[in-house]
A = this chain, B = another copy of it.
Amino acid sequence: MPVTISDVARAAGVSKSTVSRVLNTGAEVDAATAVRVREVIDALGYVPRLGAVGLARGSSRTIGMFIPSLTWPWMGEVVQGVADAVEAAGYGMLLFTAGGGPRSTAHFTAQFSARAFDGLLVIVPEGSLGPVLDMHRRGLPVVLIDDHGHHRPELPSVATTNRAGGAAAAARLHAAGRRRPLVVTGPPRFGCVRDRLAGFRTALRPALSLDGEFTEETGRTAVEHALARGVGFDSVFAHNDLIAAGALRALRAAGRTVPDDVAVVGFDDLPMARHTDPALTTVRQPMRAMGAGAAQLLLDGLGGAPLTREPLVLPTELVVRDSA
């Protein structure tokens, strides 16, 4: 049988109120009494039951996190960043995934209604903004991790400098004397795609710009296509590292040398970026820091700090390796 506050009170010869006070407010308790109670707590190994505290206080000391899927390449980094910050604050983290479609969303919503968490961190799964906004409207503190450059003025969020990242990629290529870049983007409906492109264009004009999915295959076929069409490009700006990997592969298959014939810059800095051949020069997104920053924002908010709607923007960073 786990020990309860009553056990402690009895053993220390005080009331539950007093035990509760030394545990919480700490003040308004006689020093000697406090010491004695603490000794008993340690001796008995008493830990307040979270559920009971939550019921009495109307909170759960737990945050929820809602994400599209754990299998995306950089998702683990973000969630790890969140986990670190949440752990440091002594909170629990309830993780929800949207992979199962409506069923998943329903489950997540049900846990919200059951008040399973006090605040929410979310990387909005496509089509799930509705329920999230609804929760926010009902008073749930929410912080968005804006992976797609879709700023929602209604909600606090953390984002990164997609535009500056694109500009940095262009600057690097420009400095290397490249003037005819092939740009391979992700889906144009994403804000991050438009931002990266806009940033890139401030320094360099694409010889050709193709869009596709954020996949290796997109990179491969885009390069094959450009090669077949005889587009004379001297570099590639890939909107993520998977696309870059595909481009690298297609270039090698075509007998082009990287970076001598064609320089390649990616985006993200996935772990694989250091293992491509040649190692990939890429624009690093601070995914872990974004997770940790969002968590900290939310935790501060739960602690009473005002949640500003001004996004917390963490900088990208050009990581120079061998491909450009």
Set of chain B residues within 8 Å of A60, measured between Cβ atoms? 51
The stretch among A82-90, A125-133, A175-183, A306-314 that forms the contact with chain B is A82-90
Set of chain B residues within 8 Å of A83, measured between Cβ atoms? 70, 95-97, 99
- List the 10 closest A-B pairs by CB distance, nearest first: A47-B113, A70-B76, A50-B114, A70-B80, A51-B54, A83-B97, A216-B275, A87-B107, A51-B51, A95-B95
In the complex, A323→B100 CA distance in Å? 34
Residue of B nearest to A49 (CB): B115
Set of chain B residues within 8 Å of A107, measured between Cβ atoms? 87, 90
Set of chain B residues within 8 Å of A96, measured between Cβ atoms? 83, 87, 93
Contact A97 to B84, CB < 8 A, known contacts A55-B51, A71-B76, A275-B216? yes
Interface residues in A64-103 (C-beta closer than 8 Å to B):
69-73, 75-77, 79-80, 83-84, 87-88, 90, 92-97, 99-100, 103
In the complex, A99→B75 CA distance in Å? 16
The stretch among A32-40, A146-154, A224-232, A245-253 that forms the contact with chain B is A245-253
A46 to chain B, nearest CB (A): 9
Set of chain B residues within 8 Å of A77, measured between Cβ atoms? 70-71
- A50–B116 touching, CB < 8 Å: yes
In the complex, A159→B300 CA distance in Å? 41
A284 to chain B, nearest CB (A): 15
Which of B2, B94, B272 interacts with A115 by CB under 8 Å?
B2
A124 to chain B, nearest CB (A): 17
Kindly state whether residue A110 has any CB partner on chain B within 8 Å: yes
Contact A71 to B62, CB < 8 A, known contacts A52-B55, A107-B87? no
Contact A80 to B69, CB < 8 A, known contacts A2-B115, A110-B90? yes
- B97–A80 touching, CB < 8 Å: yes
In the complex, A247→B69 CA distance in Å? 31
Kindly state whether residue A45 has any CB partner on chain B within 8 Å: yes
- B97–A87 touching, CB < 8 Å: yes
Set of chain B residues within 8 Å of A272, measured between Cβ atoms? 272
- A111–B92 touching, CB < 8 Å: yes
In the complex, A70→B54 CA distance in Å? 28
Kindly state whether residue A271 has any CB partner on chain B within 8 Å: yes
Kindly state whether residue A48 has any CB partner on chain B within 8 Å: yes
In the complex, A41→B304 CA distance in Å? 33
The listed residue with most B CB atoms (<10 A of its CB), out of A2, A110, A246, A272, is A272
Set of chain B residues within 8 Å of A97, measured between Cβ atoms? 80, 83-84, 87
Contact A87 to B71, CB < 8 A, known contacts A50-B116, A92-B111? no
In the complex, A24→B69 CA distance in Å? 32
Set of chain B residues within 8 Å of A94, measured between Cβ atoms? 62, 92-95
In the complex, A61→B55 CA distance in Å? 15
Set of chain B residues within 8 Å of A76, measured between Cβ atoms? 70-72, 75-76
